[in-house]
Structure 1
Amino acid sequence: MPRIRADDYDAKYKTILDNAAALFADVGYPNAKMLDIARVCGATKSMLYHYFATKDDLLFALLSEHLERLIADIENALEAAEPAGDRFTHFVELYVQKSAQSRQRHVSAMNDVKFLPPEMQQQIRALEAQAVGLVAAILRGVKPGLADNLYKPYALLLLGMLNWTDLWYDPNGYMPPAELRDRIARLFLDGFLAQPG
């Protein structure tokens, strides 16, 4: 299925994805019409259709672009020349310090994949599985020697915790991003009962 790769984006394409993500997060994917997306982008429907033949194509591009960037970020954390614990903390920091646009895309990734046609869902699920595998590799570095079948469940537990921060965490609120990063890292690595007050 052809799509525009991340390195081929132009400013209008990125603006469409950013505004569509915000709209989907606000009203939900099923309720957003192509006319609504064009309106929030300050564009005509014909300009929108120049980039995306259907709303499904737009959502697919939004989700695949988001996941490809996330995978690249995880790979960078995994390949960093630093101790395994620091790579883990660096990975958590990537999640905590995401931009507002990235948070909106992530909310859409959690909620809207189910609305895509099956063949598109399959491709998005493959990217998600790749991300989970990379997180499992980060955890393997932190605690080698576990049974192989345990790393994926731990990766999913960690990603579940991190994913939900997009729904409640305000980077401008009472807890700065660095503190949240450190608390998540300690909670996951040391356990809740070991947390300082």
Structure 2
Amino acid sequence: MLAYSVTPSGLFPRMLWALLLLAASLNAYNKNWDHLDCTKHEVTVDTGDRVVMACNISNPFRDVTIELTAYGKTSIIFNQMPPGSYVNNSWWLQIQGGQARLVITDTQGIHAGEYWWTLRGSQTNFKNFTLNVTGLATDNQELESLPVHAESLTAVRTEVIFIIIITTIIIITGISVYAWYKHHFPEAPQIQIAV
């Protein structure tokens, strides 16, 4: 007759408690993660137009660094600790809480290039924007007209971490069940009959 341990110290209740504690701790940890939302990756504006590149996270920024790569050179435009409003030549950076906006009111050819943002909140997030400047005149683009890019690196990392944890739990559970089975049901001796 098989005997299963149903006491609080049995194998299966302990595994169930471990899974419940793991789920609770993951949920508590997720509330502190930055959820990054930024304007679209590539922006094209006409010379003289206003452009806004913005990122929001769910936690306050600790610091923001913006680099511009153009014409084979990389230069740091801003390396600031929030909150504040900062000006560097024709670039204007506004940081408040979990919001950061880079504004160029009179876009020229020197502004074109790849903008690399390093955003530190609860984690470090990276975002890049490509700014193309053309010579045709069109209407100015306001911040509200720029679509928000909803997918973030943090969301991808969350999914990967979740998959790794679930896979690890399944492997540990399988090994535990196998060890328990081997311990409680040792192999029966083999009987050989000589002919």
Instruction: Report if TM-score (shorter chain) is over 0.5.
Output: no
TM range (shorter): under 0.3
Q: Which structure dedicates a bigger proportion of its chain to strand?
A: 2
Q: Which has the larger radius of gyration?
A: 2
Q: Which structure dedicates a bigger proportion of its chain to helix?
A: 1
Q: TM (normalized to structure 1)?
A: 0.24
Q: TM (normalized to structure 2)?
A: 0.24
